[in-house]
Amino acid sequence: MSVPETKKASVPEIRLAKPGDEEAIAKVLFEAFSQFQGDYTPGSFSIVTPSAAEVATRFDEGPMWVAVDEGEIVATVSVLPEPEWLYIRSMAVSPTAQGLGIAHRLLDAIEEYAVRDGFEKLFLYTTHFSIAAIDLYEKHGFRRGRETTAEEWFGTPGLAMEKRLTAK
């Protein structure tokens, strides 16, 4: 009889990403989105799995967070401040760390940042095949918005979601 594999018992640290994290962030993005590779077009898959060099350019665009477990980056998310909202992108948790509540904690960190910096709305795009992600966002108060067409996003249709914020 085999013993089932158990999830890690430690509580990952959530921190801002820093230069030097690019390779690990790119690895997490690739690992997390690879499970859906067949659902993406090649163009959209390359967008959701940027290289370490592309990740490095994002340090100039807005904050990125990572979750670190036992010295290893296991999750990431970044935001891009825009005039109407704070745009959330590249939310990913390594398959080995999924189910530990890390994505919830990353969204909490984003919301704290957004409220502190005066944003009134969070905004993101997701895909219809990312069912767990849609469920996560809805549990955090995001509402489904308009359907995005395949032409808008490198051949992969999706869904816009947003959340209005209130000062805490």
- CATH architecture observed for domain 13-164: 3-Layer(aba) Sandwich (3.40)
Please name the helix (run of DSSP H) or strand (run of DSSP E) that holds residue 145, with its range, or none. strand 143-148
Calculate ∠ Cα 104-33-74, nearest 5°. Answer: 50
- The predicted structure's pLDDT at residue 167: 60
Q: How far apart are CA 66 and CA 29, in angstroms?
A: 11
Write down the pLDDT at residue 1. 46
Q: Please provide the average confidence, as pLDDT, over all residues in the chain.
A: 90
Q: What are 116-160's pLDDT values in tens digits?
A: 999 999 999 998 888 899 999 999 999 998 888 777 777 788 899
Q: Which two tokens stand for residue 116?
A: 């502190």
Q: What token pair was written down for 45?
A: 């898959």
Ranges of residues in the chain with a pLDDT under 70 are 1-9, 167-168
- At residue 6, the pLDDT reads 47
Write down the residue that tokens 């967008």 correspond to.
47
Give me the long-range contacts of 106-111 (CB less than 8 A, separation at least 24).
Answer: 106/14, 106/65, 106/67, 106/75, 106/76, 106/77, 107/77, 107/136, 107/137, 107/140, 109/14, 109/65, 110/65, 110/77, 110/79, 110/86, 111/140, 111/165
Contacts of 18 (CB under 8 A, 6+ apart): none
pTM of the model as a whole: 0.88
Task: Give 110's Cβ-side CA count (13 Å radius).
Answer: 33
C-alpha span between 82 and 115 (Å, rounded): 14
What integer pLDDT is reported at residue 9 of this predicted model?
56
CA distance 24 to 112: 24
Q: How far apart are CA 105 and CA 8, in angstroms?
A: 16
